[in-house]
Amino acid sequence: MQFLDIREEGFQAKFDAIVERGEESGREVEGVVLDIISAVRSRGDEALLEYTRRFDRLECAAAGLEVTQADFDRAFAQVEPQDLAALKLAVERVARFHEKQKQQSWISTEEPDIMVGQKVTPLSKVGIYVPGGKASYPSSVIMNAVPAKVAGVGEIVMVAPTPGGEANPHVLVAAKLAGVDRVFRIGGAQAVAALAYGTATVPRVDKITGPGNIYVATAKKLVFGQVGIDMIAGPSEILVINDGSGNAAHIAADLLSQAEHDELASSVLITTSRTFAEAVAEEVERQLKILPREGIARKSWESFGVIIVAGNLAEAISFSNRIAPEHLELAVENPFEILPLITNAGAIFMGHYTPEASGDYLAGPNHTLPTGGTARFFSPLSVDDFVKKSSIIHFTQGGLQRVGNEIVRIAGLEGLDAHARSVSLRLK
């Protein structure tokens, strides 16, 4: 962990090393991934089965790739009632939030001779990638599938590698609760390729979302354009802004909840109180020792943990806006007063009783958030990601008459006579 003063010399340079920890290393795997994509594209199921056998040690016929109703029934039987209730609450709350994001189609009628509008249409089919193994999180399923369902997507197809064949029961239960239509036991670049181009068994989708390792991320980048994708996620981060109020143990726990994710995660506290800063530093050390994932959390905290003392809250906010953190906690007395000043952040956790973990699971907003400073221009995953818009334009002959000369003039400026003719032919 680094303990920095925002006004010390070289502060920015020291911090930049943290920001750039995620600089992409995808180019070396690009060749491998390209081969996998072109094999699945040209040989379909045959290639998909080969890779699944090789990478996931799963030997089966194409039909065996799909999770069956019996698999789902078994999964439901394995899940504790209280866990089921918790997952149901999460689905319900996340759905309620995302319902508010739905946009309506509209058409303007203020100029009856020239009506314009926008049609909002759900995507027909989407694919959701869920990682296998340790990072197989039911909350990821919920956060990807629920917005798609709320958007009205026709078919939601989930893929999840099942090394050795057994799927995570909580993931299957979450999929069913969230409205996923079909689940396939495939993963890696081959799963992304199958969703992008379709095989005899796996349907071609219009968009692929969800987290994954470097092979999955590279495959998503390479099929982008053939299908839509969500943002490419980098390592995760939290920034806590504090004004000296609150409880150091709480803030330490929040910093560690980020650090336990992976060794590249970054946890940053910026506070106006040196006393508070020191108390948090001590608390982190104390709490680290009792964490089951101490190894990961300690590595992350040592490499990319930072505590910064700022001169005042305005300085802290301006620093945060420069960083554009994925998760931003406003652990201050009056968080609503400073909310309007926050220009760049994925999700903003307000006040002393809103730990980041609340938003990870069931507050309602999506936990798929822009990382690595991309909150400057990316937004959280939302219902908008699962619809597309079409413009609507309707001219009557009178409407075209009214503005036709101007259209013809601009077409003329651009040297596009056929454009001009398509209008002038309809005038007079």
Which residues are designated catalytic? 326-327
Under 8 Å between Cβ of 236 and 155: no
Q: Find the part of the chain contacting a copy of itself (CB under 8 A) among 3-11, 51-59, 179-187, 369-377.
A: 369-377
Does the protein bind a copy of itself through residue 369 (CB under 8 A)?
A: yes
Exposure of 99 in the CB half-sphere (CA atoms within 13 A): 6
Q: Which is nearer to a copy of itself, 161 or 380 (CB)?
A: 380
Residues with Cβ within 8 Å of residue 28, at least 6 apart in sequence: none
Under 8 Å between Cβ of 245 and 272: no
Q: Which is nearer to a copy of itself, 142 or 306 (CB)?
A: 142
Does the protein bind a copy of itself through residue 245 (CB under 8 A)?
A: no
Q: Find the part of the chain contacting a copy of itself (CB under 8 A) among 9-17, 46-54, 306-314, 407-415.
A: 407-415
DSSP 249: H
Query: Which residue in the set 32, 63, 85, 314 belongs to the binding site for a copy of itself (CB under 8 A)?
Result: 85
| Alpha-carbon span 141 to 301, nearest angstrom | 28
DSSP 267: E
Does the protein bind a copy of itself through residue 138 (CB under 8 A)?
A: yes
Nearest approach, Cβ of residue 25 and a copy of itself (Å): 13
Nearest approach, Cβ of residue 400 and a copy of itself (Å): 5
Of residues 194-223, those binding a copy of itself (CB under 8 A) = 206-207
Nearest approach, Cβ of residue 23 and a copy of itself (Å): 10
Sign of CA dihedral 39, 40, 45, 48: positive
Nearest approach, Cβ of residue 351 and a copy of itself (Å): 6
Q: Report whether 360 belongs to an annotated binding site.
A: yes
Of residues 25-64, those binding a copy of itself (CB under 8 A) = none
Angle, helices 248-259/294-304, rounded to nearest 10 degrees = 100
Pairing mode, strands 305-309 and 266-271: parallel
| Alpha-carbon span 378 to 220, nearest angstrom | 17
Query: Which residue in the set 13, 61, 70, 425 belongs to the binding site for a copy of itself (CB under 8 A)?
Result: 425
Does the protein bind a copy of itself through residue 181 (CB under 8 A)?
A: no
CA Rg value for the chain: 25
Pairing mode, strands 106-107 and 114-122: antiparallel
Buried b (16+ CB within 10 A) or exposed e, 373-399: bbbeebebbbbbbbbeeeeeeebeeeb
Query: Which residue in the set 39, 143, 323, 345 belongs to the binding site for a copy of itself (CB under 8 A)?
Result: 345
Residue 117 backbone dihedrals phi, psi, to 5 degrees: -170, -170
Q: Report whether 98 belongs to an annotated binding site.
A: no
Nearest approach, Cβ of residue 206 and a copy of itself (Å): 4
Q: Which is nearer to a copy of itself, 62 or 84 (CB)?
A: 84
Name the 3-class secondary structure at 307: strand
Residues with Cβ within 8 Å of residue 36, at least 6 apart in sequence: 47, 51, 188, 189, 190, 193, 219
Does the protein bind a copy of itself through residue 335 (CB under 8 A)?
A: yes
| Residues 280-299: x where in contact with a copy of itself by CB under 8 A, - otherwise, as a string | -------x---xxx---x--
Residue ranges of the annotated binding site for Zn(2+) are: 258, 261, 360, 419
Residue ranges of the annotated binding site are: 129, 190, 213, 236, 258, 261, 327, 360, 414, 419
Residue ranges of the annotated binding site for substrate are: 236, 258, 261, 327, 360, 414, 419
